[in-house]
Every structure is written in C-alpha cells, then in structure tokens.
C-alpha cells in the first residue's frame, strides 16, 4: 500500500499514562521471569567493505526483505567513505551502502513504516530530532526526490534520543532516551502527521521509566507486531527487557550467549533460516571510537527468543461511529465496541471511553453521549484484563 504523503488515520491512539498503577505493576512483574535467548548467527559488520565499525541502529525493510543498518560514528573514523547506511540481507551479506548526509551526518536509530515506506531516523547530533524520510516517486532512499521532514525531540524533554521503532498496529512511534532512561510514545495527533508536540505541532507524547525494571541508558527498542509489545536494551548489556507499550515488564531475556559489549539498535524480523518465525537482530557497537579512533569491531547478533507464555493482552475494536466522522453538536452519539481476551473472554462491558476534549465519557460495550464539545476529538476505547494488560483503540470524531 502506498500513501506517500498520506496521514496516519484509523489506527491512531491516545495513550493514557497513570504512573502509580503502572509502576506498581512493574514492580510486581519483576519476579522470576528470566528466559534465555539462543544465538543464531553473528554478523561482523567490521568485515564489510566498506565496514561499519559502530553500528547504532537496525531495521527490517519488509518490501525488500533486507536490513538497513546505520552507523552514527563511522564519519569520525578514517574508515569513512561517505556512506553510513548499510543494506544487508538476513545472512549478513552486504548489498549496498548509501549516504545519509542529506538527512543527518550521525544517524543513531532507524525504523520503517511498511504502509508508506517512510523511514524514521533519530540523530546523534544537535539539533535533537527524529527525521522522517519519504523516498519519493522513485521509491529509493538517499536520492534527489526524497522528501525529508523532522520534529524536535527536546520539546517533550528528550535530549538524548537513541533507538526509535514504528508501532505498525497503532501508527505510533516509540523512542528511547539514554540520559533519561525513558521510553517516549509519540502519537501523531488529530492531523495524522508526526510534526512535534506543542508549540510546533499537535503530537501527543507520553512516557514511562525503564530504570524501574533495571534498564538504564537504553539505546535499542523494537516493536513486536506479533504481540504488540516492545523489546528494550541498554545497561546491563546482557539482558533485553520485554515490556508492554505502557511499560509493564513481561519478562527479562538473558542474552549472555551473545555477550555484547555495547548493545544498541534492535529490530524484530524474520529468521535468516527461513523457518517462518521472527527473531531479534541486535547491533553491538563494541569499543567506542572515542576510546580508540581506529577501532573496527561492529557486530550484529541474530537472537532466537523463547515463545512468550505470559498473559496475552486483550484486543479492543470500535464499531460505531466510523473514524473521521463529522457530527453536529446537538447530535446524540452512540459509541459501541468489542473487547476480547484470550484468557478472560468477553471484556466488552469493561471498555472505558474517553475523549481528548471531554475526558471520561463512560464505561460499557455501548454508551450514548449528547454533549460533546465542538472540536476534533480523539475518542479512546481502553480495556484492561485480569492480568493488568491493557488494550486501546481510537477514532477521530469532528463535532461542529
């Protein structure tokens, strides 16, 4: 599907963060949940020609069936040839290299929107930004017809944006901040475009702390479309945290088998074996070039993650009204939805309805409201199962 300049509609979400209950859940969930990853392969990016000595970000490109690796430090070494995008197949064979200088000299994290083929790139230099790259009509990156936009991460307090990942289920971005040990979730707002939070745009940003469950200086984040969860990596370097998009710890995955020195970007992608399962691909920067200007020790680890056997999140859908509907302020509006959980069954009666303008609207599978404020509403349906896992869905309603 190609929507080159289109907005993200119909899958947007308003995240509601209540720090007390979520932090409580994190602490309760940190009991014995450790599992062990299996190392499937090690790819030495240092052996590529040209090499990537400090790979910092990685993403799977669905339509190519390949990985893009970005290197935020190669431009500071004598190995630099002008390219810091490295395109490789799943077995680590280098296919192509590209420059990112039209976007940034120091790309740190990278993600991909499979619906419009846009890239999202976080930067390691000032100004602190997340850059969106539309490949243009030729559908190739780093060419003259690319359309490049960006938003400022410092507007919402992120001065050290590292990894970034696109939530393809809900149309959101999640990014990690190393200095803050924080995950930020960016909703594109009512205009459906990632243009920054106020005063520059209408993006809605929420966050949760990673230090609560023992991950500091996070550098990598990946979205798991199978479960709608996130994987995080930072310090300590021998574990990956598997969390919900609200910051609920699901399990800690031991990656000692790879023994990374400085783990960075993550991506969730098909196994290189062709088994049909998905694995995690993790880049390791190794020795920093500040310590050794001639270092060249970058790696990618492909890791098999044990199947998740914990509480599965529920799913919630909105059947009435349709997304992007226009209403008259005097109208009585019916909101109807369905919520199903694999463990708890039908949770529709527990759906909580909220509005970005009018706050709480009510609870139930169906409610009627006759007093919506004039304006554009992000209507959210939220449900929580007995294991404290939460699901959300939203629509936009314009009241005139």
On whether residue 133 sits in a domain, the answer given is yes
Range with lowest mean pLDDT among 70-79, 139-148, 298-307, 387-396: 387-396
- Computed over every residue of the chain, the mean pLDDT equals 88
- Domain limits at 29? 19-304
Q: The tokens 């119909």 sit on which residue?
A: 10
Q: Single out the residue in 304, 326, 360 at which a domain terminates.
A: 304
- pTM score above 0.75: yes
177-182, Cβ contacts within 8 angstroms, sequence gap of 24 or more: 177/153, 177/218, 178/217, 178/218, 178/219, 178/234, 179/217, 181/209, 181/210, 181/211, 181/215, 181/216, 181/217, 181/218, 181/234, 182/158, 182/207, 182/208, 182/209, 182/210, 182/218
Nearest CA among 21, 58, 113 for reference residue 260: 58
Instruction: Indicate left, alpha or beta for 396 from its phi (over 0: left) and psi (-120 to 50: alpha).
Output: beta
**Same-domain pairing of 111 and 168:** yes
Q: Tell which of 304, 330, 351 closes a domain.
A: 304
7-16, 79-88, 279-288, 340-349: which has the minimum mean pLDDT?
A: 7-16
Asked if residue 141 and residue 96 are part of one domain, the reply reads: yes
Residues 392 and 245 occupy one common structural domain: no
Whether 289 and 327 map to the same domain: the answer is no
Q: Are 229 and 361 in the same domain?
A: no
Do the bridges between strand 147-152 and strand 129-134 make them parallel or antiparallel, or are there none, so unpaired? antiparallel
CA atoms within 13 A on the CB side of 68: 27
Q: Residue 322 is part of a domain; what is its CATH number? A: 2.60.40.10
Mean pLDDT of 50-72: 97
Q: Name which of 140, 54, 44, 152 is nearest 99 in CA terms.
A: 140
As a whole number, mean pLDDT of residues 93-99 equals 97
Cβ-contact 107, 120 below 8 angstroms = no
* pLDDT, average across residues 138-145: 94
> 240 near 234, Cβ under 8 Å?
no
CATH number, domain containing residue 167: 2.120.10
State the total domains in the chain.
2
Q: Is residue 11's pLDDT more than 60?
A: no
* Model confidence band, residue 331 (pLDDT cutoffs 50, 70, 90): confident
| Domain presence at residue 110 | yes
Do 206 and 67 belong to one domain?
A: yes
pLDDT at position 316 is: 92
């Amino acid at each position: 599907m190609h929507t080159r300049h289109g907005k993200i509609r119909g899958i947007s979400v308003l995240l509601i963060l209540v720090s007390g209950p979520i932090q409580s859940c994190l602490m309760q969930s940190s009991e014995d949940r450790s599992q062990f990853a299996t190392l499937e392969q090690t790819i030495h990016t240092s052996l590529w020609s040209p090499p990537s000595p400090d790979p910092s970000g990685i993403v799977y490109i669905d339509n190519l069936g390949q990985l893009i690796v970005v290197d935020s430090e190669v431009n500071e070494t004598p190995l630099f040839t002008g390219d810091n995008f490295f395109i490789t197949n799943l077995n680590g064979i280098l296919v192509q290299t590209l420059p990112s200088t039209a976007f940034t000299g120091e790309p740190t994290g990278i993600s991909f929107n499979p619906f419009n083929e846009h890239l999202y790139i976080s930067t390691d230099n000032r100004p602190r930004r997340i850059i969106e790259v539309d490949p243009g009509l030729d559908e190739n990156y780093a060419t003259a017809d690319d359309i490049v936009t960006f938003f400022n991460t410092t507007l919402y307090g992120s001065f050290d944006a590292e990894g970034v990942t696109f939530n393809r289920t809900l149309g959101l971005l999640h990014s990690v901040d190393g200095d803050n040990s924080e995950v930020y979730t960016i909703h594109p707002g009512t205009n459906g475009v990632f243009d920054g939070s106020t005063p520059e745009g209408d993006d809605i940003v929420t966050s949760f702390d990673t230090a609560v469950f023992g991950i500091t200086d996070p550098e990598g984040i990946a979205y798991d479309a199978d479960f709608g969860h996130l994987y995080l990596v930072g310090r300590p370097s021998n574990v990956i945290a598997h969390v919900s998009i609200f910051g609920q710890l699901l399990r800690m995955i031991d990656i000692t088998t790879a023994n990374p020195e400085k783990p960075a970007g993550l991506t969730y992608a098909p196994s290189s074996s062709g088994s049909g399962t998905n694995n995690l691909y993790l880049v390791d920067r190794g020795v920093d070039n500040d310590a050794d200007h001639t270092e060249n020790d970058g790696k990618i680890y492909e890791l098999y993650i044990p199947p998740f056997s914990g509480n599965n999140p529920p799913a919630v859908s909105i059947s009435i009204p349709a997304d992007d509907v226009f209403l008259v302020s005097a109208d009585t509006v019916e909101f109807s939805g369905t919520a199903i959980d694999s463990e708890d069954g039908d949770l529709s009666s527990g759906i909580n309805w909220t509005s970005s303008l009018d706050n709480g609207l009510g609870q139930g599978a169906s409610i009627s409201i006759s007093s919506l404020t004039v304006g554009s509403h992000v209507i959210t349906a939220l449900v929580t199962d007995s294991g404290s896992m939460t699901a959300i869905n939203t629509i936009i309603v314009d009241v005139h």
